[in-house]
A and B are shown apart, each in its own frame.
Chain A
């Protein structure tokens, strides 16, 4: 089996559709370890990728005013049981552009794999960027995922990012996203993760609303069981008039697992308003019993509730 076929299979295991990676009308990028195995640009979108010793450096450019018709599909992965993959990526979304990225990160055989993401994102004035990242890590738990992304959203720009790891062991996740939002801009950060065994999940989300009328939502959904642990630090800061932000953390904890949530709100302008809510606990009795009263067994009912919360 070629490396390309192997990564396509892994991509499929993570929920991706390989047909998109072969379509000439769909922008795409396929990286296995430190090899660039596939790259397709479309009008308005340019993608440059160059190998590093331990990964790949990527530059993504969306031209000013370009509306990319189809989501751009990205595939990052390490197929072998051991390895390091460092993705250094720079997204530059031109003013008034609109683009959506669907990334699948797949490490199906990981026994000792490290996936490092060092990202810089610039969303131009009035531009819209959606970035959805879905992970699949296999069942061994031998994976470390260390994404660190710094994003700037210019005036009236819109940035929505969703990180999802709900299939396979989380391993160790150290998620660290920070966003600065200019006037009337919008940032939404969503992180969803499922941990079991000895998994360790840390989510750090920070949104700084620096411009007048900027809006932000830092949302996290985490479920842990067995002896897994999750720590969520979600911060929203309001530094300008009429800035509106919200922090929303929900964690479900079972067995001997540990869940920690620290929603942090900072306001330096009296006309800003930031709210927060955090809920940690086991599955709600009423939700559980409602499903059980329909004849669903308790374990399955818990699974339905947790999967629903994680957006599956």
Chain B
């Protein structure tokens, strides 16, 4: 899939007739401070779409707003999923529609086994898929199925299990928030393989990262800065702009630290 590089808010308007996800003029504030300031984003069904941006640019806030996390309700704008306005829907309902998130820093669960955790998002129990999901993130099912999703797992193991849980669920749209954080560099290939596997099974992936190496595996990419999408297009073009403009800019960090965001 090849998408021309667009440097404007009109990205939402250039979408195909029936994209899986459309974000239209999304505004989200936290504790009175605007974080997302009019996001326009279109994700085509079956694609891997990356959102690239520095820390503090609003990437995770966008992810939380998309899945309906409490405290991230938009003050303005709409989220369309498969043509349906899901903006007012609670998180569970969005999950049931097939919209889920692999968390950047996944939660721990005392007493919940990996087997049960991976099964929670499935419509029907499927032990074979649970096993293959673990194998897909390079974890031995025989070793991990009976382990608990608690503090006994290392950060890397927990992260892999999170990705496996999302894969096992077979959602329509999987948002992967910094999937490579906490996993060693060698595992980047594992993540790329998992994303390709998701795509082959018809899972659309919204890949959120601050690392341009990760974004290279996407079909399309968008550059986020200070709560706005600055550009969308082919990954290498977006990465090039990211490298040229964003690396030398401290605007995103300022967003997090400044009280008066609008003065930036």
Which residues does A use to contact B, with CB under 8 Å? 221, 250, 284-287, 289-298, 301, 304-305, 307-312
B204 to chain A, nearest CB (A): 16
| Docked CA distance A297–B90 (Å) | 9
B6 to chain A, nearest CB (A): 30
Interface segment, B92-100, B125-133, B207-215, B243-251?
A: B92-100
Which residues does B use to contact A, with CB under 8 Å? 67, 69-70, 90-92, 94-96, 100-101, 103, 106-112, 120-121, 165, 169
- Report which residue of A289, A293, A307, A309 has the largest number of chain B beta carbons within 10 angstroms of its beta carbon: A293
- Contact between A308 and B95, CB atoms less than 8 A apart: no
Secondary structure at the B interface, as helix, strand, loop or mixed, is loop
A132 to chain B, nearest CB (A): 16
Contact A296:B109 (CB < 8 A) given known A285-B70, A289-B69, A291-B120 = no
- Contact between B110 and A309, CB atoms less than 8 A apart: yes
- Contact between A293 and B107, CB atoms less than 8 A apart: no
The answer, among A221, A250, A290, A309, for a CB contact under 8 Å with B107, is: A290
| Docked CA distance A309–B111 (Å) | 5
- Contact between A298 and B92, CB atoms less than 8 A apart: yes
Contact A286:B103 (CB < 8 A) given known A295-B95, A295-B96, A308-B111 = yes
Closest residue to B97 on the A side, CB-wise? A295
The answer, among A286, A295, A297, for a CB contact under 8 Å with B121, is: A295
- Contact between B120 and A294, CB atoms less than 8 A apart: yes
Which residues of chain A are within 8 angstroms of B91 by Cβ–Cβ distance?
289, 292-293
| Docked CA distance A294–B112 (Å) | 15
- Report which residue of A291, A298, A301, A312 has the largest number of chain B beta carbons within 10 angstroms of its beta carbon: A291
Contact A294:B169 (CB < 8 A) given known A289-B69, A289-B91, A304-B120 = yes
A182 to chain B, nearest CB (A): 30
- Contact between A308 and B110, CB atoms less than 8 A apart: yes
| Docked CA distance A196–B91 (Å) | 27
- Report which residue of B92, B103, B120 has the largest number of chain A beta carbons within 10 angstroms of its beta carbon: B92
Which residues of chain A are within 8 angstroms of B94 by Cβ–Cβ distance?
293
Contact A294:B103 (CB < 8 A) given known A308-B111, A309-B111, A312-B111 = no
Closest residue to B121 on the A side, CB-wise? A294
Which residues of chain B are within 8 angstroms of A284 by Cβ–Cβ distance?
107
Closest residue to A309 on the B side, CB-wise? B110
Which residues of chain A are within 8 angstroms of B169 by Cβ–Cβ distance?
294-295
B35 to chain A, nearest CB (A): 18
| Docked CA distance A284–B110 (Å) | 12
